[in-house]
Structure 1
Amino acid sequence: MTKLSVNINKFATLRNSRGGDNPNVVQAAIDAQRFGANGVTVHPRPDERHIRYNDVRAIKPIITTEFNIEGNCTEQ
């Protein structure tokens, strides 16, 4: 059976382009789970142009499903 993991990077992209905290990526993760997603995916990048490292730390404690953190193959 195929499972759904919602990638919330685009929520972060919108937030970053607008400034402030709208949309709230933590709330997006909560909503994704509440609406039935089997997981939440993020892909932090060194330049933090999408999801930020602080977002990952804020999201981790509220995840009750799978938390998929995609990585970059860099020496950093």
Structure 2
Amino acid sequence: KGAIAEMLAHNGPVLLEARVKKDENCYPMVPSGKNNAQMIGLPEHKHLEKVAELLHCSSCGAKNISTNRFCPECGTKL
């Protein structure tokens, strides 16, 4: 507990090594050699496309989720 208080009180970057049980789920769980987008437990990209309706930008053809008002690639109103 003292190390956590010291970490929180420090004004700047810190590195804290925390030991947990091998079978304990600690999030985010990112496998070695992977990036945060490849975190364990995230839905696969194909599944995300099924959840949100996709629109294609009439200007650049980029795929956009239906909640976007503007294309993030070219700025065209959707």
TM-score > 0.5 by shorter chain: no
Higher Cα Rg, which structure: 2
Normalised by the size of structure 2, how large is the TM-score?
0.21
In terms of fraction of residues, the more helix-rich structure is 1
Higher relative contact order (CA 8 A, sep 6+): 1
Structure having the higher strand fraction is: 1
